Each structure stands twice: as C-alpha cells, then as structure tokens.
Amino acid sequence: MSAARTVLVLNCGSSSLKYAVVEPDSGRQLADGIVERIGAGPIADHEAALRAAFDELSEAGLDLDSLGLVAVGHRVVHGGPDLYRPTVVDDGLIATLETLAPLAPLHNPPAIVGIRVARKVLPDLPHVAVFDTAYFHDLPAAAAHYAIPRDVASQWHIRRYGFHGTSHQYVSEQAAVFLGVPLESLNQIVLHLGNGASASAIVGGRPQDTSMGMTPMEGLVMGTRSGDLDPGVIMYLNRTAGMSMADIETMLNRRSGVLGLGGEIDFRQLHRLIEAGDADAQLAYEVYIHRLRKYIGSYLALLGNTDVITFTAGVGENDAAVRRDALSGLAPLGIELDEHLNDSPARSPRRISFETSPTTVLVIPTDEELAIARACAGVVDS
Ligand code: ADP
C-alpha cells in the first residue's frame, strides 16, 4: 500500500456523485469513478452513493483505512460574495452555504447534501470546501459588474462571479510550467470547453475577465446551455408564450446549447451528423464556433498582447476541428495553428501552434481533482 498521503475528492450533483482518490504531492490519481442515478434503483440517496463509491474502491483493492486519507475535498460550485479560499467545513460553513443556495439552486444544494453525508460517514477527517468561483473573486470591477442599478446589485449580491475557476487556474499554471516561464510573465486566454464551457483572460496569473457570470449560464454556447442571451427573450417567453420561470430555466439549462440547436450534446456525434449532411447539426456547430470566436476576439482586445491560448476539457482537449475553426484566419493577429500538430491526438500537454507563431497555442488536460486535492493539502498543512 502506498505510504503517500491522499485526498478523497467529491463532486456531488443532484443525481450523481463523482469521486477520486488523489495523492496531492505526487499528483498521482489512485482511483476515480462516478455513481449515477442517485434516487433511482438501489442507490436511494447520496449516502448510499458514497457507500457504493467505497465499495468500488475496496473492489479495486483500495481500503479506506489504509489509503492514507488526510482530507476530503468537496467541489462547491458557488461561493457567493465572501467564500473564496479553500475552507474547512464546520456547521457554520454549512449554514452559510445554505444561505447561498438561491444563487446556485441547481448546483449548491446537492454539494451541501454531499458534504453532510461525507462528514457523517468520515467524521474523523477534515472536510474542505473548494469553490468554483474562487479564482475569479478579485476580477477587476469593470469585468465583475453588470450595468444594472448598483443598489439592486448590492442588495441581491448580483455580480459576475465566474465558474470553472479551479480549472482555469490549474490550466494557466500548467501552461507556464509547460513553457518553462514564470506565470507572472504571461498574458493568457484559457478555453475550457466541456459540457459546460467558459473562457478566461489572465494577466500574470490574475484573471481579468471570464465568460460565465452570476450563474454558469452566461457566455459560450455549451452542451445544453444557451450561454449569452438577450434578457428580453426571458421576459417574452414568460409574458407572451406563457412559460413559467421554472420552465424557462430548465429550457435554458438543459435543452438549449448544442443540444437545443443540433439535437446532440456530444461533439463526436455532432460531427457524424454534420458529415451525413444534417443541417441542424451544422447550424449548432456554426453558432458554437461563432460565439467562441467572439469571446476569443474580445479577450485578444482586452489583453492587447496574448502570449498563450490554451484549450482544455472534453471538447478542447479532443476536438481538433473545434480548435482549428476557433482560430482559423487569425495569422494577422499572430495566431498560427500548425494543422499537423493540431491533428495529432495525445493525452499530455502539447503545443499546437508553429514555433514561430507569436501567440503560442496549447492543449493542456485539465485536472480539477488534483487541483482540489492540492488545495486541501494546503489547508491541512497550514
Ligand atoms: P464536463 O463538463 O461534463 O466535465 P467534459 O469536459 O468531460 O465535460 O467534456 C465532455 C464533452 O467532451 C462530451 O460531451 C463531448 O462533446 C466532448 N468530447 C469528449 N471526447 C471527445 C472526442 N474524442 N472528440 C470530440 N469531443 C469529445
């Protein structure tokens, strides 16, 4: 059995529990898995899901008692206005998280359930909450504010919080490591393109803007979310089409984006449909790329000089066509993708621009579990 210390990382959704066992010091991931369909069949609730995860671990020869666990790290989507450092969970923190539930009604409640259950099952370990919004806490005021009346915004804690922060931070730090230069020296754009998708502009390790806002619905076109939308559409659907706010929310979160336009969520399948001549799939892809290029362009303007553009997450790491179409024709702006490098699949961090390209383009696999485990280890050490 390994003698190195480990962290159990948990990411609870309403009907799923993702887990990973990670050595924060070596970066090695010993195991990971997902328990799905919580509430249906034999997995009655999140506690049953966590116990099922432990069963899977022991079947894999990983016994909880000999794993060397030093902490449990919980991914929490929304930290609200005040929570941004990795924080040891106590009853007070749970109470604070509960007051934040209205800000992230789809995401925070299941995380709270997960924290409660894990504390009950593993009472002797420190539990640490790591917030998806944390990295963007200090966005410049110009990027953090919506142009709505200030009294309304401050009374209701409305600001642009940003999400996927753990990934944007990890990937931008890895980009500096890969290039062998100090993080402080780089102007970066990070494109996190998974089912959820977000972009960020980062100067010297400090984020200057990001595409998600008060909720993870703003910004890029995503697997099932619309991204940017004229708020007038929501009023119109409510007032004129008679849709309830709950129905509109569900539509914009679960039935929109690439799925809503093209009938498919997975980009591999979307490409197959496009090849077969499916016009809806083609449109979905074009809208997705158009929005992505708008954000890239706006961040190029924000940064002035961009050293690195990095693609990450499921689509960003695997879909060469998306990367090509996102950056095609930008040689006049100093972005020269090497088609050959871009088309070569690989699992590790890599450069996909020509060596002579003024802006370096990278693909770097994200590892939110490792980043959360390291954040937990940092809390345990301090
Ligand atoms: P999540 O936001 O759920 O963490 P991921 O980052 O795992 O999402 O991304 C999942 C998405 O990545 C899939 O829906 C699919 O569209 C895309 N994807 C995964 N593998 C490939 C691939 N080989 N080629 C193109 N797209 C891929």
pLDDT digits (tens, 9 = 90+) for 312-344: 999 999 999 999 999 999 999 999 999 999 999
Give catalytic status of residue 91 as yes or no: no
Distance 34 CA to ligand 1 centre (A): 16
* Mean pLDDT value across residues 212-227: 97
Query: Which residue among 220, 272, 319, 325 has the greatest number of ligand 1 atoms within 8 angstroms of its CB, and so is best to mutate?
Result: 319
Count of all residues that appear for the chain in the document: 382
Helix ranges restricted to H, the chain: 46-59, 91-100, 108-121, 141-144, 150-155, 165-179, 231-239, 245-254, 257-262, 267-275, 279-303, 313-318, 320-327, 339-343, 368-381
* Mean pLDDT value across residues 198-208: 98
How far apart, in Å, are the Cα atoms of 169 and each of 112, 175, 191, 209, 243?
24, 10, 12, 13, 38
Q: Whose CA is nearest to atom 19 of ligand 1?
A: 314
Find out whether 165 is annotated in a ligand binding site. no
In this prediction, residue 255 carries a pLDDT of 97
* Mean pLDDT value across residues 133-157: 97
In this structure, the dihedral spanned by the alpha carbons of residues 315, 321, 325 and 331, taken in order and rounded to 10 degrees, is 110
Nearest atom, ligand 1, residue 269 CA: 16
Q: Whose CA is nearest to atom 4 of ligand 1?
A: 194
Using a 6 Å cutoff on CB, does residue 224 contact ligand 1?
Answer: no
Return the percentage of the chain with pLDDT > 90, whole number.
93
When the pLDDT of each residue in the chain is averaged and rounded to a whole number, the result is 96
Domains and their CATH numbers in the chain: 6-131 (3.30.420.40), 181-368 (3.30.420.40)
Nearest atom, ligand 1, residue 197 CA: 2
User: Rounded distance, CA 70 to CA 119, Å?
Assistant: 13
Using a 6 Å cutoff on CB, does residue 67 contact ligand 1?
Answer: no
Annotated catalytic residue: which of 132, 209, 307, 319?
132
Tally of CB atoms within 10 A around 162: 28
pLDDT tens digits for range 65-114: 889 999 999 999 999 999 999 999 999 999 999 999 999 888 899 999 99
- DSSP assigned state of 224: S
Q: Whose CA is nearest to atom 13 of ligand 1?
A: 266
- Kindly state the tokens that stand for 65: 């008692």
Using a 6 Å cutoff on CB, does residue 79 contact ligand 1?
Answer: no
Residue 2 clears pLDDT 70, i.e. is over it: no
Q: Which backbone phi and psi does 224 adopt, to 5 degrees?
A: -130, 0
Using a 6 Å cutoff on CB, does residue 209 contact ligand 1?
Answer: no
In this prediction, residue 346 carries a pLDDT of 85
Q: Give the 3-state secondary structure of residue 304.
A: coil
Find out whether 11 is annotated in a ligand binding site. yes
Query: Which residue among 11, 212, 267 has the greatest number of ligand 1 atoms within 8 angstroms of its CB, and so is best to mutate?
Result: 267
Using a 6 Å cutoff on CB, does residue 268 contact ligand 1?
Answer: yes
Find out whether 255 is annotated in a ligand binding site. no
Return the percentage of the chain with pLDDT > 70, whole number.
99
* Mean pLDDT value across residues 296-300: 98
* Mean pLDDT value across residues 201-225: 97
Using a 6 Å cutoff on CB, does residue 32 contact ligand 1?
Answer: no
What predicted TM-score, i.e. pTM, was given to this entire model?
A: 0.96
Nearest atom, ligand 1, residue 223 CA: 14
CB 351 within 8 A of CB 368: no
Residue 26 clears pLDDT 60, i.e. is over it: yes
> Residue 228's closest CA among 292, 169, 177, 313?
292
Distance 32 CA to ligand 1 centre (A): 17
Is residue 122 classed exposed, middle or buried when 0-12, 13-18 and 19+ CB atoms within 10 A define those classes? middle
Query: Which residue among 36, 191, 192, 268 has the greatest number of ligand 1 atoms within 8 angstroms of its CB, and so is best to mutate?
Result: 268
Q: Whose CA is nearest to atom 27 of ligand 1?
A: 315
In this prediction, residue 1 carries a pLDDT of 47
How far is CA 293 from its chain centroid?
19
* Mean pLDDT value across residues 268-276: 98
